[in-house]
Copies of this chain bind each other. A is one copy, B any other.
Amino acid sequence: MKFRIVFLGFGTVAQGLARILVRKAGVLRKTYGFEFEAVAVSDTVKGSVLNNRGLDLGKILGTVEQGGTLNDYPGGVKGLSSLDTLERADATTLVEATWTNLKDGEPGLTHVKTALKLGLHVVTTNKGPIALAYHELAALAQRKRRHLRFEGTVMSGTPAISLVKEALIGSTVKSIRGILNGTTNHILTEMESGKSYADTLRTAQELGYAEADPTGDVEAWDPTAKIVILANVLMAGRIKLSEVPREGITKITQADVDAARRDGKRIKLVAKAFRENDEVKAEVVPERLPMTDILAHVSGVLNAITVSTDVQPDVTVVGPGAGGDSAGYALLSDMLAINRALGTR
């Protein structure tokens, strides 16, 4: 199958994917038999363009990277809404990379549902639809015999979901513990070296690590969404985001950090999924980790998960949870996994 791609959302993440696709088209064809063509791109800020005879992805990237909009791209149908784009595109695959909304998942949720109903495979980095409606979407995908993959929703291009589903195939997950938010981990790491919470947050905002409204990070909505995804996808949990015990780092003081250090420990915001009385549960709370815990040494904007299974003791994976083209790469890894499942090669 040739992947005929609709991009909904064309910000940093989707552009990262586009850059990788353009650069690696030859090797992807040769190594994996993976072939693709972009047929539509739609973005609330940059406009939209559709051409079922194919778009020049390199040219689109160039236009956008130079500050232009999709209206500047020669030819094609302009100005369609995201849903009209989906309806009119002769596509096999949706790349959904609009912003995460943890309240109702929109507009991503409708994008994903519509695409699956239309018979498209979906790859997404959007945490909203997956954290809020995974089981519904997975059932829809199965009914339509289409693939829904979302490696980049947790730890970006660092493998978390595929680590368990593919590399740890056949194992049953007993628990997962992780550091799943780079902003809060960066703040805690800086506080270790004596910098204040407020200063560090401000610097992180200036550097673009942290949002202008940091609530999603410091009150732990972001890592909570991620542990819900891991629990529901990898442990067959039925957890609702709103019901997860959740405590951020806003109450952590310099005195707390110093006291932990004096005890030979480090405070980390730990997201956990575990089984209790045959039920899968999750929580996100700051913990004092001993230095013998590898998670205590996951510093700065790195993320990590430790997975415990029935057949293999703790396996930990550590890597960047954001930045560069990492999330774009996650989308590529999802498409290559679909390609492999379809038996193209």
Contact = CB atoms under 8 A, between A and B. Distances in A.
Interface string A329-345: 10011001100100100
A158 B158 CA distance: 16
Given A20-B311, A315-B317, A315-B318, A172 B27 contact: yes
Contacts of A157: 311-312
A319 B326 contact: no
Contacts of A24: 170, 311
Contacts of A159: 163, 167-168, 315
Q: Which of A27, A167, A313, A336 has the most CB of B within 10 A?
A: A167
Given A20-B311, A312-B329, A324-B313, A169 B340 contact: yes
Interface stretch (A123-131, A213-221, A222-230, A294-302): A294-302
Interface residues of A, number: 47
Contacts of A298: 294
A28 interface: yes
Nearest to A157: B312
A94 B86 CA distance: 48
Interface string A150-166: 00000001110011001
A122 to B, nearest CB: 18
6 contacts: A28-B170, A162-B166, A169-B333, A170-B336, A312-B320, A316-B317
Interface of A: 20, 24, 27-28, 31-32, 34, 157-159, 162-163, 166-172, 291-292, 294, 296-299, 311-320, 323-326, 329, 332-333, 336-337, 340, 343
